[in-house]
């Protein structure tokens, strides 16, 4: 049945299954009884691991999805009269169905990004106005996505510039790290070095896009945020019960550098996909391939045939561009089959050309 229902594609790393090692870990902890709500031994071990990776005082809190991680991070950091600066194409602004406004009660200020989907100091400066004006929502936070929605990665220097900007205006820092290991592997830095460049107050640390099942974390370092988040999480119905099943997934992912292996593989596949697509004059790769995303423009009539080969989504209907995502289980065959279809379409198009 699974052979008929499921097929690898390039639509999203959300579409992939659970990494075999992580799936195996769920079976290993599916025995007997233990405490719930994050006070089980595995959750305690995970926090020790997080402190080792991200620095002392790190504490992680499970939530069910990335929307909750992002939205509740902002709710914890800000008051309702605050606003947050976010990229115009960010998940927070485009794909959270207004949750930051409805649940966190804060205003988002979408900021135009550069050609690589990144926030810049110059673009952010324009929004630093009307300080102390009781009629105007006060900017209180800067949120960045690393890697960006275009799959590009902020360099260490770029993160430092944003850090210094935020410090100048006393802004809290949030990072949407749904695919964070892809960024750290591309930059060849560890999580502590990342925090030194961009000392976020809250981090949405994603698991689902990296081979885990329904497992997301929010990381804090300041005691006041840790304390307040406990109540915010419960009120917003995001407190999981059987947390050993979430903890074991993250422990398996983080221990023995499995998270690095997954990031390296998905990036390697994305680079190979990009290189294969470069062989076709009708296909244009739009942005640098620095994580596990490849964005392309291609002839619109090819869409249905290509989607049948390996499913994907159209990113921009005006440009007719597509986002192709690789994951831990992307194979050479996925790339070869997809490009074989392009080759067939390309030959057909040339044969009917006048």
Question: 302-339: per-residue pLDDT in tens?
Answer: 999 999 999 999 999 999 999 999 999 999 999 999 99
The verdict on 290 and 197 lying in the same domain is no
* Structure confidence at residue 6 (pLDDT): 87
CA gap 220, 159 in Å, rounded: 19
In total, how many domains does the chain have?
Answer: 2
Q: Which of 252, 281, 290 is nearest to 343 (CA)?
A: 281
> At 350, is the pLDDT very low, low, confident or very high (cuts 50, 70, 90)?
low
The pLDDT of residue 32: 97
pLDDT tens digits for range 10-22: 999 999 999 999 9
User: How far apart, in whole angstroms, are the C-alpha atoms of residue 305 and residue 13?
Assistant: 21
Indicate if the pLDDT at residue 99 is higher than 70. Answer: yes
Helix (H, G, I), strand (E, B) or coil at 299: coil
Cα-Cα-Cα-Cα torsion 267, 272, 273, 279, nearest 10 degrees, comes to 150
Minimal CA–CA distance to 302: which of 287, 314, 286, 315?
Answer: 314
- Biggest alpha carbon–alpha carbon distance for the chain: 72
User: 168 lies in a domain?
Assistant: yes
Range of the domain at 282: 2-15+258-343
**CB count, 10 Å around CB of 175?**
27
Residues 205 and 296 in one domain: no
In a domain, 22, yes or no: no
Q: Does one domain contain both 98 and 188?
A: yes
Is pLDDT above 60 for 120? yes
Are both 195 and 284 inside the same structural domain? no
pLDDT at 3 over 80: no
Please tell me the distance from the alpha carbon of residue 202 to that of residue 214, in angstroms, as a whole number.
20
pLDDT exceeds 70 at position 354: no
Residues contacting residue 349 through CB under 8 Å, at least 6 positions apart: 282, 299
Indicate the pLDDT class of residue 352, thresholds 50, 70 and 90.
low
The DSSP-derived string for 256-274 is: GGHHHHHHHHHHHHHHHHH
pLDDT class for 5, splitting at 50, 70, 90? confident
For residue 23, tell me if it sits in a domain: no
- Distances in Å between the Cα of 194 and the Cα atoms of 72, 189, 210, 217 are 22, 7, 19, 17
């Amino acid at each position: 049945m699974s052979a008929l229902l499921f097929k690898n594609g390039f639509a999203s790393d959300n579409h992939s299954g659970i990494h075999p090692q992580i799936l195996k870990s769920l079976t290993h902890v599916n025995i007997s009884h233990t405490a719930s709500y994050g006070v089980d031994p595995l959750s305690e071990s995970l926090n020790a691991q997080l402190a080792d990776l991200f620095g002392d005082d790190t504490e992680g809190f499970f939530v069910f999805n990335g929307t909750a991680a992002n939205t509740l991070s902002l709710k914890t950091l800000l008051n309702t009269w605050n606003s947050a600066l976010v990229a115009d194409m960010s998940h927070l602004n485009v794909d959270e169905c207004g949750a930051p406004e409805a649940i966190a009660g804060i205003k988002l200020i979408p900021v135009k990004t550069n050609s690589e989907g990144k926030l810049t100091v110059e673009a952010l400066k324009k929004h630093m106005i009307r300080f102390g004006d009781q009629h105007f929502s006060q900017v209180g936070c800067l949120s960045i996505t690393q890697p960006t929605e275009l799959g590009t990665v902020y360099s260490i220097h770029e993160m430092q510039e944003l850090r210094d900007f935020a410090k100048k205006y006393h802004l809290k820092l949030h990072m949407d790290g749904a695919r964070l290991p892809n960024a750290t592997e591309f930059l060849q830095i560890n999580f502590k070095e990342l925090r030194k460049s961009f000392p976020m107050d809250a981090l949405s640390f994603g698991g689902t896009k990296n081979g885990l099942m329904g497992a997301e974390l929010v990381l804090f370092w300041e005691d006041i945020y840790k304390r307040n988040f406990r109540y915010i999480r419960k009120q917003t119905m995001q407190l999981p019960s059987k947390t050993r099943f979430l903890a074991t997934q993250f422990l398996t992912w983080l221990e023995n550098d499995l998270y690095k292996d997954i990031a390296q593989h998905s990036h390697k596949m994305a680079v190979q996909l990009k290189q294969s697509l470069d062989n076709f004059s009708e296909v244009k790769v739009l942005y640098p391939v620095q994580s596990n995303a490849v964005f392309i423009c291609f002839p619109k009539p090819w869409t249905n045939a290509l989607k049948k080969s390996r499913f994907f989504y159209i990113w921009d209907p005006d440009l007719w561009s597509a986002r192709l995502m690789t994951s831990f289980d992307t194979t050479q065959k996925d790339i070869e089959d997809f490009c074989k279809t392009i080759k067939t379409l390309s030959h057909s198009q040339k044969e009917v050309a006048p």
